[in-house]
Amino acid sequence: MSPLLSAGLELMLVGMGTVFSFLTLLIAATVAMSRTVQRYFPQTTPLAPTAIQQDEEIAAITAAVQHHRRR
């Protein structure tokens, strides 16, 4: 094997190994941060909107659509 080809192969392996190591470290850090956040800040279930809130929302949307169509 020529020295130029072996140097290129060595450079390729070092580069790919570096990228693989960095991505593995990045995934591990992301998983660790996600678990930490979930442990100290658990998700709460959102409250269901009441019928009055839904009626007000529908009225606001209807008024906005009518205003837009008048233009």
**What's the pLDDT band for 70 if we cut at 50, 70, 90?**
very high
| Side-chain half-sphere exposure of 67, counting CA atoms within 13 A | 6
Q: Helix, strand or coil for residue 48?
A: coil
pLDDT tens digits for range 1-56: 899 999 999 999 999 999 999 999 999 999 999 999 999 988 877 666 666 778 88
What is d(CA 22, CA 30) in angstroms, rounded to the nearest whole number? 12
**In the chain, helix, strand, coil percent, each to 5?**
80, 0, 20
